[in-house]
Amino acid sequence: MKQDILSRIDEYFEQKSQNERYILSFGVIAVIAYLLYIFSFDASERFYNEQSMQYEQISKELKVVQDYIKSVSSPNGDQNFKIKEQSKELEALKKTHEELLGFNNYFDDKLKELSFLLFNDQNWATFLDRIVILAKENNIKILELNNEFKNPSYQKVEQILNINVKLLGSYQNMLNYINSLEESELVVDLHKIDINATQKELGANIAISIWGMKY
């Protein structure tokens, strides 16, 4: 079958002149080229459009980068200008932090030196015991002892412990006892002393306030 078709084509071309053969050949080539162009045009157009979109996207991203570099650069074009500026600020913050740490350590040391001022139940309990011990050492008889604790305000020096003591003893022993109380490490305020004499001894009512702060 194929041979019959080819034979007919050969016979057809044998009947044509040389010029006619060239014209037919060119016509066939032109038709094939046209068909190839038609089928490949859509693919080429899609490829071109895709490449154009990618180019536009890359151009936008490049502009963003360029704008950022410009924003962090100095007027003379130094692109590390912002980095240097941030580094200086960081160094300044580090220095400030170190200074604050030093001040904080200094403040803590000073507070330790003034620990007797700090609100501490043990300090107050020790002082109450000290009142009794000093009375025995100075031959003072304690007839009555009352105390009242107060809740101190934060970082404010104020009265924390109020004590009322009723005593009995000789004049000299009473003076020695009062002096001993005032020599305490705590901030002691003897703000009231009522003395009444008996035949042999002195009676006294003493009001004592202890000052401190809560930290």
Per-residue pLDDT reduced to its tens digit, 81-93:
667 777 777 787 7
Burial class (CB in 10 A: 0-12, 13-18, 19+), 140: buried
Say how far apart CA 171 and CA 167 lie, in whole Å.
11
Burial class (CB in 10 A: 0-12, 13-18, 19+), 186: buried
pLDDT band for position 139 (50/70/90)? very high
Burial class (CB in 10 A: 0-12, 13-18, 19+), 162: middle
**Looking at per-residue confidence, does 207 or 155 come out higher?**
207
Mean pLDDT over 121-142 rounds to 85
Where b means 16+ CB within 10 Å and e means fewer, 12-39 reads: eeeeeeeeeeeeeeeeeeeeeeeeeeee
pLDDT band for position 120 (50/70/90)? low
Q: pLDDT, tens digit, for every residue of 32-85?
A: 665 565 555 555 666 667 777 877 888 787 777 777 777 766 666 666 666 777
Q: What is the pTM of this model?
A: 0.45
